[in-house]
Amino acid sequence: MGLERGLEKGLERGLERGLERELERRLERGLERRLERGPERGLERELERGLERELERRLERELERELERRLERELERRLERGLGKGLERGLERVLERGLERRLERELERELEKRLERRLERELERGLERGLERRLERGLERELERGLERGLERELERRL
């Protein structure tokens, strides 16, 4: 019985060690693959996110256009049927709201661009002015030093 237990324990330990080594090898291989793919996947994810955003924007635009087309068709049909001014006004309001929203978005984008350009110009001007002031101060100091030296030499000569 002692021999059987010893063999069982030996087998168990051997299997455990073998499994541990195999797990370590697999983990190392997996980590190596992940490290190799890491930067690529990061770039892929960024590209995917950018593409997703662009697709969302395109879909929104397309949906807006489709909605406008459908509303216009519906308006025309109802007008042809003579269903009254109330529906016509309601559909016009819906169309106007959609156009207003689109115009608001476009205006916001344009304003943002203009503000960015203005800020950039103001920063550039501010930096230029700051550099000019520094140069002027530096020249003034140099002139003062030069005059002081000249006066000192002149005094020394006279004395």
Residue 92 neighbours by CB under 8 Å, 6+ apart = 75
What is the predicted pLDDT for the residue at 1? 60
In this predicted structure, the answer to whether residue 88 has a pLDDT above a threshold of 80 is no
What is the predicted pLDDT for the residue at 43? 67
- Distance between CA atoms of residues 74 and 67, nearest Å: 10
In this predicted structure, the answer to whether residue 79 has a pLDDT above a threshold of 80 is no
Residue with tokens 């230029």: 128
DSSP H stretches of helix in the chain: 2-81, 85-158
pTM exceeding 0.75 = no
- Distance between CA atoms of residues 132 and 84, nearest Å: 71
HSE value, Cβ hemisphere, 13 Å, CA-based, for 133: 6
What's 82's DSSP letter? T
Cα 48 to the center of its chain, rounded Å: 13
- Distance between CA atoms of residues 59 and 44, nearest Å: 22
Q: pLDDT by residue (tens digit) across 17-51?
A: 888 888 888 888 877 777 777 666 666 777 778 88
The one-letter code for the residue type at 139 is L
Report whether 79 contacts 88 (CB < 8 A). yes
What is the predicted pLDDT for the residue at 83? 60
What is the predicted pLDDT for the residue at 84? 59
- Distance between CA atoms of residues 122 and 148, nearest Å: 39
Residue 95 neighbours by CB under 8 Å, 6+ apart = 68, 71, 72, 75
- Work out the pLDDT band at 8, boundaries 50, 70, 90: confident
Q: pLDDT by residue (tens digit) across 99-130?
A: 888 888 888 989 899 888 888 888 888 878 88
